[in-house]
A and B are shown apart, each in its own frame.
Chain A
């Protein structure tokens, strides 16, 4: 579904991503793990069209998407939940969700989409008219995921969904991710907290200083002795 080959990207003359190749199959959940500064967020930014790669290719459903504008990429069915949610702070929950269904492909399904995400996150019905900036971190994260789902994506990308949240809330966020996965979405997730992410993922990529250091199935990841030592603390 999503195929990234030999991707290089960075800011100015400095490379953050070096020769990264990643694949996400239909219905799969892929987790990209790695320490802070490894280039995980940059990867999602490049896919979403917020940053132009310096070389390499990105294909989505056999169409080349690198170099396209963010709004074109949403239209094709890729949606990003940015780190911390990044809701529009002065808009209500409802207006934020409206923005989620902005693209022409899904605008007419607004009501259906709203029902669908409300079945996942009941909170959005209760807080419909609340200004997003006044919500708690966990609530914001949920609304942000709901907003991304409003664009009826085929691929949902999550940038550190657990960042800055209390452990209990992190657990429930990952429950939601599981539920989303079960509903048939493909998910590409970037995470720093390894254990939780590994639980929901089918495939794991390990990114270190902009390079893919490991990729494989969840089982292989868990069995790898080097990874066991440095990431799982076993």
Chain B
């Protein structure tokens, strides 16, 4: 029963993880960039919710919406200042420049808020379904995650910009002769990726308190999911998120949480080396 309970909560948490990984995956697939500072964007989102809701008494939902918009703007800013000038540079330079962004954001938060935990104390009930205990915060995250993903699905399949985003991930050269300006698509991708980081932060509000070193772990978690599903493979990432959600939840119930994480990371290393297209990917799509 204990295990079933953690499986259910893991699946629910997987909804938020899917959302989080989707943003990083999109930026990798479209712009071919490994967004090393992605977790720090989530962290900034959480700090913004804290500032608005606690320090300025803005209603919580409004705070979350504002934080999402602000993180999307921050992402656009990062695109213009850091990514765009490096679009033709070797990928490793892009990765390291984003590591610089990581450093700036982390230390800016440290300077502004100090090293202590800050959080919005939202107490959400634990739902009792049959013999299962389900955290309402997980349920909210799951629902928000799935709704956002459904909207993304429509965007990527039904709108010109959305289809162009998918097209450019498959064949950037040909996308150009379709009349697409790749720079515009990259910009939209970063805006969407930033918004996803913001929504992820909003879903994390009832779950986590934030501190300046909060982001790194989530950048890495998003990585793991993306690698598991195959980099740039959106469906793979979606499934990967639920696998990681369940594995993390179950392993922290049964094992020492660090050992669970170490095992996941080792598997991740193996996948990078042996199946870089991901466990769920197809070679040479």
Contacts and interface: CB of A to CB of B under 8 A. Distances in A.
Contact of B176 (A71, A104, A133, A147): A71
A184 B27 CA distance: 42
Chain B contact residues: helix, strand, loop or mixed = helix
B204 to A, nearest CB: 31
Contact of B175 (A73, A75, A98, A99): A99
A78 to B, nearest CB: 9
A102 interface: yes
Pick the most buried of B167, B179, B285: most chain A CB atoms within 10 A of its CB.
Answer: B179
Interface stretch (A11-19, A88-96, A190-198): A88-96
B93 interface: no
A74 B171 contact: no
A102 B174 contact: no
A104 B181 CA distance: 11
A190 to B, nearest CB: 15
Interface in B182-209: none
Contact of B285 (A69, A90, A100): A90
Nearest to A70: B176
Contacts, number: 69
A90 B166 contact: yes
A50 B173 contact: yes
Contacts of A89: 170, 285
Contacts of B174: 82, 86, 88
Nearest to A92: B157
B26 interface: no
A107 B161 CA distance: 12
A100 B176 CA distance: 11
A99 B176 contact: no
A97 to B, nearest CB: 10
A187 interface: no
B163 A86 contact: no
Contacts of A107: 160
A141 B71 CA distance: 43
A69 B179 CA distance: 9
Nearest to B182: A71
A2 to B, nearest CB: 16
Contacts of A151: 178-179
Q: How many residues of A sit at the interface, in one of the four size bands?
A: 20 to 34
A146 interface: no
B177 interface: yes
B176 A49 contact: yes
A74 B285 contact: no
B16 to A, nearest CB: 26
Interface string A49-87: 110000000000000000001110111000110100010
Interface in B237-285: 285
A88 B166 contact: yes
B180 interface: yes
B98 interface: no
B234 to A, nearest CB: 10
B170 A99 contact: no
Nearest to A107: B160
Given A89-B285, A102-B160, A74 B167 contact: no
A75 B167 contact: no
A100 B175 CA distance: 9
B157 A95 contact: yes
Contact of A99 (B157, B167, B173, B181): B167
14 contacts: A50-B173, A50-B176, A71-B176, A71-B178, A88-B170, A88-B171, A88-B174, A90-B166, A90-B285, A95-B166, A99-B167, A99-B178, A102-B180, A104-B179
Interface of B: 157, 160, 163-164, 166-167, 170-171, 173-181, 285
Given A70-B177, A95-B157, A107-B160, 9 more contacts: A50-B176, A71-B181, A79-B177, A88-B170, A88-B174, A89-B285, A91-B170, A98-B160, A99-B180
Interface of A: 48-50, 69-71, 73-75, 79-80, 82, 86, 88-91, 95, 98-100, 102-104, 107, 133, 147, 151
